[in-house]
Structure 1
Amino acid sequence: MSTFPSLTSGAAFRRASPSRTLSSALGGASLLVLSAALPAFAEASEGVVALDEINVSGEARRLAPGPNLTVSTGAGSRLDLTPLETPASVDVVSGDVVRDRGQSSIAEAVTQNAAGFSFIGTPGNGFGAYSSRGFTGVNSVTTLYDGVRLYPGNGTVTFPFDTWTVDRIEVLRGPASVLYGEGAIGGAINIIPKKPLTDERRNEARAVVGTDGQVGLAAGSAGPINEKFAYSFDVAASRGDGWMDRGDYKNLAFSGALNWRPTDELSVTLSHDGGHNQPSRYFGTPLKGAGNVEKDWIGENYNVRDGVIRFNDNITQLKAEWTPNETVTLRATAYSVVSNRFWRNAESYRWSASASPLFPDGQINRSDYIAIKQEQEQIGARADATVRSELFGMANEATIGFDVNRFRFSRLNNGGYGDPAVNPPLPPKGFDPGEYGSTSSYGREYRATTTQYSLSFDDRLKLTDQLSLVAGLRYDHPEIDYRNLRTGLKANPTLDSISWRVGAVYEPVKNLAFYAQYSEAADPVNSLLSLTPAQSDFKLSKGRQVEAGVKQSLWDDRFEWTLSAFYIEKKDLLAPRPGALAGTPAEQIGKQSSRGVEASVGVELGHGWRVDANGTILDARYDEFFGAGGLSYKGNTPNAVPEKLANVWATWRFAENWKAQAGLQYVGRTYTSASNDYKRPAYALVNAGLQWKPTGYATLDARVKNLTDKTYAYAGGDYQWYFGAPRTAELALHLKF
């Protein structure tokens, strides 16, 4: 049975900035074709272990917590191949498994399940930044929502953030420019929302209470309306006091879809998804000297009392898929993405050893008093045609398509304010945080309009029953019209790029695949939506990757494992030229690379046990890079890149209706700047949970995150770090009816 795309519908959130433009779209055709269900139960010598269930488009199908190698996915190609058929590293993460493990944020779901990803999200990048395979940030690791690429405005991606609406998360590790265009040399994350159901109904609700004032409510429903229409709708809201001083937060996420199937060959879906997010107004903690952590400072909030962080996002899509016969599938999607963001904070803090009667332990100097508004709108469409045929007697499947987008991005701010007479230095503890203090109006700083189109081609040729060739080609043509409304400076760069990939998959026996691939990609020196006149003459940074590996699914998919090795090189990085005077503009003369090994395994052990694990070992380095004064950083590790990562999850169904589980996440040490003078220590987080199902429709979960109460920092520079939450606990009741 074909699957049905999703849609969402939602309401405004109290105190959130309303969207200035209604998200709307027209178009026709596209749909993820999902196949291959994993077995319902894995039987062992003395027990039966149930796999977590996901319902998609009316079909009861199941995804295991592990790699899911035999499930069709759009992450690795446009041909809906399974990970076993794809010459790349692909993870499929079940939304049900994510919620079962208590992973309430997209960041937790990605970094605690997919191999090789670490989180470096901060308020400035919208909590949407990751590190993967030695490359960091929203310009190198792309986020998509239901196949729509979320272009970063001014280095910011703010949606999605909640996992309640998620059906599954598809992750591609390594360069993804051949699929999604420039800006994906480290990888791509595609979050797919829940879909309408045609043959059954889904009704569920969740209530959560926890430490630090945490309260959450969620509900969802899906099912057929009649023979031609089906729907889905999900909404989740949460709020809490936060673990730091003045750390209160609240958010609302919603997702809805209406599917119309007038004939067996045609499916049309209208969807709307969105979120209103007001996270904790926390910009990190200053260090007592470079690299020196004072633990009793960590719970302090050095932001101003009236600080604000607020993100509003809405995505509307109209999709259609037409399959007139077995050899042709036509898909098209039209979409509108609207984001409105607002910050008003003192964002930077640095400790000074200057002592006085008022500051016997030194003082905290605050800077970067800035208020910013971002207004971003993306209207676009994509369409493709897939043809299945024979070429010289060999089975061939090809997809040709195009994308077209128009972006409008505007930034307003009243930055530059920081009068020490109004906001003086603070003692490290026991301080009055003060007010923002500026009454100046918001001035529109710049406006950028980007028009982009692309052409793409994907092909798989089965040379034999065991050997396939998979290739892809993409041409991107973005034209940018940047205007600084304060200085009058303008820029109109055009940044064409060609990305391509060729790979082979050899399957000597069923469900054992060896693969190799070569790919080329491109990254911008800054977000395309916010390239300044000074950056308009720069070309895209170029990247290339060589990867080889093996994947296998055994025992009716109860045991899956993968192993891959890769080398990635990126050149044309911005760096000062050796011997250049201070203040001289950087040039595209830098180069960095990474080489590494990744492995993952998911296995049903019997006696009620299941173990899922993955690990990454990297060697990431600057091959040619310079700092201030022409100092060479050759051989240094790029900042924010951990070179060792691992995840382990163990689940034990020790009695009827009872389950215990525990997870370990390890993130290796990370340098805080390109000079490698200081580093954040490695950390290991332990999460645990106990689940009881008193009835067939109710589940009660008790969970503890950061069980060992580890103090750890996940992001930050040489003098200011972002710390993660200490030990927290929650109790969740999930009902299905």
Structure 2
Amino acid sequence: MSVHLIANCRSAYGVSASNPARAFALAGASSLALLAGYPAAAEDVSVELSEITVTGEGDGYQPGPNLTKRSTAGSRLNVTPLETPASVDVISGEVARDRGQNSLQEAVTQNSAGLSFIGTPGNGGATFAARGFSGNGSVTILYDGTRLYPGNGTVTFPFDTWTADRIEVLRGPASVLYGEGAIGGAINVVPKKPLTDERRNEARIIVGTDQTAGLALGTAGPINEKFSYSLDVAGNRSDGWVDRGNSKNVAISGSLRWAPVDGLAFTFTHDSGFNRPMKYFGTPLRGAGIVEGDWVGKNYNVRDGEIRFEDNITQLKAEWTPTDGVAVKSIFYRITADREYRNAERYRWIPGAGRIDRSSYVAITHEHEQVGNRTDATFDYTLFGLRNQTVVGFDVNHFKFSRLNNAPYNGSSQVDPINVDPGEYFSPDAFSREYRATTKQYSLFADNRLELTDQISVVGGLRYDHPEVEYRGSRPVNDAVPYSKGVFDSVSWRAGVVYEPVKNLAFYAQYSEATDPVNAIISLAPANQRFKLARGKQVEVGIKQQFWEGRAEWTLAAYHIKKTDLLAPDPNDSTITQQVGAQSSRGIEASIGLELGHGWRIDANAAILDARYDDFGEAVEDPATGKSKTVSRKGNTPSAVPERLANLYATWNFAPNWRASGGLQYVGRTFTSASNDFKRPDFTLFNAGLQWKPVDYATLDFRVKNLTDKRYAYAGGDAQWYFGAPRTAELALHLRW
């Protein structure tokens, strides 16, 4: 297991505003005594310490009990990462915001080992790669434990960390928890919750380069003895670093909790995201891997291009605890997603003409509705004298997905690479409904943890999924079959063991099996419905430890994953698709977090990966004959998968109420296609910050991202790359009262 240590900005015990040194001393002494059991003296006299509560705000990072903090990322049993035989990262939302990581992709890739960002407008800008596998189908996004199913590979929400209480990352196959897919991992964003015994009021104002501005407000607390609430709103806008790169977004998260009697609570939540990202589809290359510096920052899209995402998630959660050993939870939810694209998306350099050819004039509308219920019951009891924890439950979903477009996208034009005249969108193709897809799915799942001894526990999980996909094509664009219906039953399972020879030092091993559709399950066209689900298997072993009186944690994990039944062309006839391919990856992930004293803290993680195609062919055009032929890619590295990743973050409280911080993010070289003919170069980004706390309720942050003004590409194929932002700066004022 690899758990990246992220400490909460607020001390676990708080800091007295009048005497912080004494508060830390009292809280530290009492907590160490309680955690260590504080050995008795020779007289074997036990001493009971009363609880000490100190309130206030900390001015530096404090060690967070991440390995011993309960999490739902790696198990539905709500156990700690130390008790889970899997790789889990728990990223505090407060720490992400304190580090200036305002987006989901920044928080995940800069704090979690082995994840890289490959988001583009076409996939919603929320797409990751992990452990050799990439895309929304392989790295699943969840919100508060509810899975967000992508239509045509597009997931956009959530995107702002202001509304997040924490971000949980599970690396490795997660189908046993969340259903088909997720062979690379899963990311669960847990929003802020109502507070029943304290109040939270906060505001944040951000101004920065490129006319960037942001405003966020948040409040939570009890209304009376039975009602409590939480409400957070964040809005951002920017002119962007590319021409015509304006963007804006709004995120809203609200919840109301009602506890009529002890042991029973109902929580109603509603979350919305309105996102208009930059209408930027990358920069064409002048040749194989050749970047023309003057072209970077140009926007080759049409002037009236459109990218619009609107997402809404409404949930009603009922929690009932009839006894100490029984807990029942049921969540009813409705998710809607409306997306609109209208852009010229593909660019190619024409050497003879000295111009950029623009094609793929795409106009698409997505309409997505997901309604469902997830119910589970947790039992904590004794079995043959051994402690046993069990979760059993079911998940029922109904999806409706509709896609309208103007395929086959025949529009085209040419522009000068420097003096770009964007023009207006134009396509001769009719804009009409392509298809409707309806999916009905039910799932049954169970998790179990049995403590064989005080040092050894066995963890297992089993899940059965039964999705039925009904596809109705309005016009034969991608497939000549106007109607089809497919059923894709699957069983996922895992078994693991955790051995803790001494307190807070654990060794673990796990075997798991997962499934993965050949495309997004809710928009599976007839051409892909005849194929069975791909299968994935993983073996993982690891070590994790919390030590130095809770001031340090480290983890080390090694794994091997193999995915079979990939789609590949017939070697004798490239026009025929077979399901015979295989892909595998193996790697090592490590992380460490240290509270060094004297105001210093360091967090670091790294991942080394070997990913390859074991059996895979690709249809390519033979330049001599102009006909298609199949070329073996066996031994090649899959595209969009960097094999070296690392992060380092350091903070130094060098004076009272002052903190300096610095971060490093390294992403290794990445191949741009299965042929491995070309690759995007590796890059290293440096971030720096200075924080001042002039009064107890205010914090002022100055941050510089990409300090060295590195030009880097994070996504793209052989002819067109997506570049990241150059050096930017921002000033943020955060108020708490």
C-alpha displacement of 1:442 = 2.8
Contact 2:359 2:411 in 1 (8 A): no
Separation in structure 2 between the aligned mates of residue 575 and residue 316 of structure 1, nearest angstrom: 40
Q: Does 1:398 align with 2:390?
A: yes
Helix, strand or coil: the match of 1:596? strand
Pick from 349, 367, 381 the counterpart of residue 389 of structure 1: 381
C-alpha displacement of 1:290 = 2.0
**Change in CA separation of 1:275 and 1:170 when aligned onto 2, cut-off 3 Å:** same
User: What residue identity is the alignment partner of 1:679?
Assistant: K
Question: What does 1:137-148 align with in structure 2 at a 5 Å threshold?
Answer: 137-148=135-146
Question: What does 1:572-611 align with in structure 2 at a 5 Å threshold?
Answer: 572-581=565-574, 584-611=575-602
Contact 2:613 2:635 in 1 (8 A): yes
Contact 1:552 1:561 in 2 (8 A): yes
Separation in structure 1 between the aligned mates of residue 618 and residue 418 of structure 2, nearest angstrom: 35
Q: Give the 4+ runs in structure 1 shifted more than 3 A.
A: 37-41, 47-51, 58-67, 415-420, 438-441
C-alpha displacement of 1:418 = 3.8
Q: Does 1:379 align with 2:377?
A: no
Structure 2 partner of 1:13? none
Structure 2 partner of 1:198? 196
Helix, strand or coil: the match of 1:110? helix
**Change in CA separation of 1:480 and 1:50 when aligned onto 2, cut-off 3 Å:** farther
Helix, strand or coil: the match of 1:164? helix
C-alpha displacement of 1:579 = 2.6
Pick from 510, 517, 526 the counterpart of residue 510 of structure 2: 517
Contact 1:67 1:92 in 2 (8 A): no
Contact 2:65 2:550 in 1 (8 A): no
Which is further off, 298-307 or 585-594?
585-594
Pick from 399, 408, 411 the counterpart of residue 400 of structure 2: 408
Question: What does 1:470-619 align with in structure 2 at a 5 Å threshold?
Answer: 470-487=459-476, 489-581=482-574, 584-619=575-610
Contact 2:411 2:427 in 1 (8 A): no
Separation in structure 2 between the aligned mates of residue 546 and residue 689 of structure 1, nearest angstrom: 40
Separation in structure 2 between the aligned mates of residue 600 and residue 586 of structure 1, nearest angstrom: 42
Contact 1:577 1:589 in 2 (8 A): no
Structure 2 partner of 1:367? 359
Q: Does 1:329 align with 2:320?
A: no
**Change in CA separation of 1:390 and 1:640 when aligned onto 2, cut-off 3 Å:** same
Structure 1 partner of 2:87? 89
Structure 1 partner of 2:707? 707
C-alpha displacement of 1:625 = 0.7
User: What residue identity is the alignment partner of 1:150?
Assistant: L
Separation in structure 1 between the aligned mates of residue 62 and residue 316 of structure 2, nearest angstrom: 30
1:268-316: CA deviations, max 9, x gaps?
Answer: 1000001100000000000001211011101100000000000000000
Structure 1 partner of 2:443? 454
1:498-551: CA deviations, max 9, x gaps?
Answer: 000000000011100000000000111000111111111100000000000000
C-alpha displacement of 1:61 = 12
Separation in structure 1 between the aligned mates of residue 658 and residue 460 of structure 2, nearest angstrom: 47
Q: Does 1:463 align with 2:452?
A: yes
Contact 1:382 1:403 in 2 (8 A): yes
User: What residue identity is the alignment partner of 1:609?
Assistant: W
1:82-110: CA deviations, max 9, x gaps?
Answer: 00000000010000100001011100010
User: What residue identity is the alignment partner of 2:363?
Assistant: A
Separation in structure 2 between the aligned mates of residue 66 and residue 291 of structure 1, nearest angstrom: 43
Contact 1:653 1:659 in 2 (8 A): yes
Contact 2:63 2:595 in 1 (8 A): no
Separation in structure 2 between the aligned mates of residue 226 and residue 483 of structure 1, nearest angstrom: 51
Question: What does 1:125-524 align with in structure 2 at a 5 Å threshold?
Answer: 125-355=123-353, 362-420=354-412, 424-438=413-427, 442-487=431-476, 489-524=482-517
Separation in structure 1 between the aligned mates of residue 493 and residue 80 of structure 2, nearest angstrom: 20
Contact 1:48 1:608 in 2 (8 A): no
Helix, strand or coil: the match of 2:407? coil
Separation in structure 1 between the aligned mates of residue 568 and residue 244 of structure 2, nearest angstrom: 39
Contact 1:473 1:499 in 2 (8 A): yes
Contact 2:410 2:428 in 1 (8 A): no
Q: Does 1:667 align with 2:667?
A: yes
Separation in structure 2 between the aligned mates of residue 457 and residue 59 of structure 1, nearest angstrom: 40
User: What residue identity is the alignment partner of 2:314?
Assistant: T
Separation in structure 2 between the aligned mates of residue 439 and residue 148 of structure 1, nearest angstrom: 40
Contact 1:617 1:645 in 2 (8 A): yes
Q: Does 1:721 align with 2:721?
A: yes
Separation in structure 1 between the aligned mates of residue 383 and residue 62 of structure 2, nearest angstrom: 36
Helix, strand or coil: the match of 1:68? coil
Separation in structure 2 between the aligned mates of residue 426 and residue 569 of structure 1, nearest angstrom: 45
Separation in structure 1 between the aligned mates of residue 598 and residue 14 of structure 2, nearest angstrom: 17
Separation in structure 2 between the aligned mates of residue 50 and residue 726 of structure 1, nearest angstrom: 44
Contact 1:335 1:379 in 2 (8 A): yes
Separation in structure 1 between the aligned mates of residue 440 and residue 168 of structure 2, nearest angstrom: 27
Question: What does 1:39-50 align with in structure 2 at a 5 Å threshold?
Answer: none
Structure 2 partner of 1:648? 648
C-alpha displacement of 1:50 = 11
C-alpha displacement of 1:384 = 0.5
Separation in structure 2 between the aligned mates of residue 418 and residue 215 of structure 1, nearest angstrom: 38
Contact 2:310 2:339 in 1 (8 A): yes
Separation in structure 1 between the aligned mates of residue 454 and residue 654 of structure 2, nearest angstrom: 43
Separation in structure 2 between the aligned mates of residue 287 and residue 460 of structure 1, nearest angstrom: 53
Separation in structure 1 between the aligned mates of residue 65 and residue 569 of structure 2, nearest angstrom: 42
Contact 1:647 1:665 in 2 (8 A): yes
Separation in structure 2 between the aligned mates of residue 205 and residue 454 of structure 1, nearest angstrom: 41
C-alpha displacement of 1:128 = 1.5
C-alpha displacement of 1:419 = 4.2
Contact 1:38 1:61 in 2 (8 A): no
Contact 2:361 2:426 in 1 (8 A): no
Contact 1:67 1:602 in 2 (8 A): no
Separation in structure 2 between the aligned mates of residue 498 and residue 407 of structure 1, nearest angstrom: 21
Helix, strand or coil: the match of 1:627? strand
Contact 2:390 2:447 in 1 (8 A): yes
Separation in structure 2 between the aligned mates of residue 618 and residue 276 of structure 1, nearest angstrom: 36
Q: How many residues align?
A: 681
Separation in structure 2 between the aligned mates of residue 573 and residue 49 of structure 1, nearest angstrom: 59
Contact 2:12 2:64 in 1 (8 A): no
Which is further off, 122-131 or 61-70?
61-70
User: What residue identity is the alignment partner of 2:438?
Assistant: T
**When the two structures are superposed, what TM-score results if normalisation uses the length of structure 1?**
0.90
C-alpha displacement of 1:585 = 3.1
Q: Which runs of 5+ in 2 are unaligned?
A: 1-10, 29-53, 620-628
Pick from 602, 607, 611 the counterpart of residue 620 of structure 1: 611
Helix, strand or coil: the match of 2:415? coil
User: What residue identity is the alignment partner of 2:703?
Assistant: R
**When the two structures are superposed, what TM-score results if normalisation uses the length of structure 2?**
0.90
**Change in CA separation of 1:441 and 1:645 when aligned onto 2, cut-off 3 Å:** same
Separation in structure 2 between the aligned mates of residue 238 and residue 346 of structure 1, nearest angstrom: 26
1:341-379: CA deviations, max 9, x gaps?
Answer: 000000000111113xxxxxx211111001100000000
Separation in structure 2 between the aligned mates of residue 258 and residue 698 of structure 1, nearest angstrom: 28
Helix, strand or coil: the match of 1:107? helix
1:118-146: CA deviations, max 9, x gaps?
Answer: 00000000012100000000010000000
Contact 1:49 1:608 in 2 (8 A): no
Separation in structure 1 between the aligned mates of residue 631 and residue 117 of structure 2, nearest angstrom: 29
Separation in structure 1 between the aligned mates of residue 547 and residue 554 of structure 2, nearest angstrom: 9
Separation in structure 2 between the aligned mates of residue 352 and residue 65 of structure 1, nearest angstrom: 56
